[in-house]
Amino acid sequence: MSFIRARSEQQIQERILEIINAASEIYNELGYDGLSFSVISEYTKFTRPNIYKYFKTKDEILLEMLKADTIAWITALTNSFKLNKIYSIAEIAEIWVESLIRHSRLLELYAFLFTTIEKNVSVEALARFKQETVPAYQTQLMHLVEQLFPKATPTSVYDFITAQMTLAIGLYPMCQMNELQLKAVEMSGIQYTAPDFERSYKLYVYQLMYCLENGIEIKS
């Protein structure tokens, strides 16, 4: 069966979504190294040249996956809180961390967004990614935090959002050691245990939220 060129915007978007969904499945199974246009072609009706019509590199597909994961997390987090209910800092931290753990793939992708993904995409794709994800942080997420911590200043809220994600992105890879890494630790004779992400991150988030709740700001 020959490939039929998409003739409408709807057909184009359907094909893009099919490619992204296939790439998402492959990434979940094989990781970054296992994802390629050749493998995607095995999961879809597209050949490698067909895929190039929509994406220049696999990293452009990963940008789309990361955008979807980010928006899904922020939406789910927002929906986890009930209107007009007063939460303790511990309760907020618990809900926050559990929500992020359920969307942990975005932490994997953010971990190499700036070092790998952004260096292997077109400027147009990267600009589109930022245009569609940054507002989710600057509006929806900031609005949520402002509701949870009404005493906090806009600057403190912005700093919290930046700090909590920076901590999560840095901590998560340290907690996900593969067999090679575990074997190397064993062979080295060093006494080392990978941190527990949920426990450690919850502690850091609680401390940041305590500052928000009590109007403690870091002065430059």
Q: Is the pLDDT of residue 30 over 50?
A: yes
pLDDT in tens, 38-93: 999 999 989 999 999 999 999 999 999 999 999 999 999 999 999 889 999 999 99
CB-based contacts of 32: which residues, under 8 Å, 6+ apart? 62, 112, 116
* Global pTM exceeds 0.85: yes
Task: Please report, for residues 47, 130, 155, the alpha-carbon distance to residue 125 in angstroms, rounded to integers and kept in the order given.
Answer: 22, 9, 30
pLDDT value at residue 72: 96
Judged by DSSP in three states, 195 sits in coil
In this predicted model, what pLDDT tens digit does every residue of 170-199 receive, in sequence order? Answer: 999 999 988 999 899 989 998 888 899 999
What is the overall mean pLDDT for the chain?
Answer: 92
Domains of the chain: 1-55 (1.10.10.60), 59-213 (1.10.357.10)
Residue type at 85?
A: K
Least confident range from 160-169, 177-186, 203-212: namely 177-186
Give the pLDDT confidence score for residue 220 in this predicted structure: 47
